[in-house]
Chain A
Amino acid sequence: MPHKIVNGQQVELTEAEIAARAAEETAWNAGAFDRAMIELRSKRDRLLAGTDYLALSDQTLSAEMTTYRQALRDITNGITTVEQIDAITWPTKPGA
């Protein structure tokens, strides 16, 4: 039986608690895509920031680095499912 532990003692969940827990999990799973997109953008932004110094006005950005940075910016294009996010192949950072 589904249970919880209260002050160290195992207590079986009531039908209402089971239903409430199921509703919580449904809501959580419904937000999976949004959470995955946040993580995707966070990593993309981090990788972009890691090469920002190469785009300063006193630097010359190589064509390979320009392509790499554009690929990072485009990484979210056409993404509509968590499965697509999980299957993303990140571009390889060229030698700086």
Chain B
Amino acid sequence: MSITRIQNANAFTGTIPADNFANATLDNVTLLPNAPLGDMVLVSSATASSSASIEFDLSSYKEYKFFFVNIHPSATTGNPLFQFQCSTDNGSNYNTTITSTHFRAGHNENDADQYLSYNTGKDQAQGTSFQSLTDGDVGGDNDQCQSGMLQLFNPSSTTFVKHYIGHNNSVHANDVCGTVFSAGYFNTTSALTNIKFQMSSGNIDDGKILMFGIN
């Protein structure tokens, strides 16, 4: 395989010394610049298939970023919401104390209603329930699902509480586009060891969750 290697271009004049042009075979290349690796690492991913929940172990990354891609509930019975909680005991219990906010914007497909409001029913004040990341019921039709993201900050800290910020968009069963911002903190100085995602009712029929760690 023939390649051309260029080194030492003068950034000011654009001049490239003639002796730095070299055609060579790949076998003769002894130095290639390092590709920038960055500090954001895909730690794990999961694809739901009528799954009751999706769980991940947390370790010592300073920040985790989760992407939710086309999360689709198994049914709309019970008006399911997409929720999460964290464990401090290696997944034995998911009931860590949360104080959170939850506000939303919505718009009907038929343009009949638009709104922006605080969502009193889905925030928590020192609660231990699963925290909703969506609003209303995520629709179960094929054109209805939910996508978005969640950031979790320094879950392994044993000094401070652990903040999270979630931003998600869903299509409700009544064809409302619902955008939700939910943020808050796990009010514990114990390390968060695991995170769990589920629907409030029924299974996660389909969809993918990507988990990135950032240092």
Contact = CB atoms under 8 A, between A and B. Distances in A.
Contacts of A46: 115, 117
Contacts of B79: 32, 35
A5 B119 CA distance: 30
B78 A28 contact: yes
Contact of A13 (B52, B57, B115, B120): B52
A81 interface: no
A42 B52 contact: no
B48 to A, nearest CB: 7
A89 interface: no
Interface residues on B, range: 20 to 34
B132 to A, nearest CB: 10
Given A6-B91, A10-B49, A42-B120, 11 more contacts: A4-B53, A6-B56, A7-B55, A13-B52, A24-B200, A25-B202, A32-B79, A35-B79, A39-B121, A39-B136, A46-B117
Interface residues on A, range: 20 to 34
Contacts of A6: 55-57, 91
B51 interface: yes
Interface of A: 2-8, 10, 13, 17, 21, 24-25, 28-29, 32, 34-35, 38-39, 42-43, 46
B78 A5 contact: no
Contacts of A8: 44-46
Nearest to A41: B120
Contacts of A43: 113, 115
A81 to B, nearest CB: 14
Given A7-B57, A38-B120, A42-B117, A2 B52 contact: yes
A49 to B, nearest CB: 10
A5 B201 contact: no
Interface in B28-73: 44-49, 51-57
B200 A5 contact: no
B207 to A, nearest CB: 11
A10 B48 CA distance: 9
A69 B136 CA distance: 25
Contacts of B44: 7-8
24 contacts: A3-B51, A3-B52, A4-B51, A5-B47, A5-B53, A6-B57, A6-B91, A7-B44, A7-B57, A10-B49, A17-B52, A25-B78, A25-B200, A25-B201, A28-B78, A28-B200, A34-B121, A35-B79, A39-B136, A42-B119, A42-B120, A43-B113, A43-B115, A46-B115
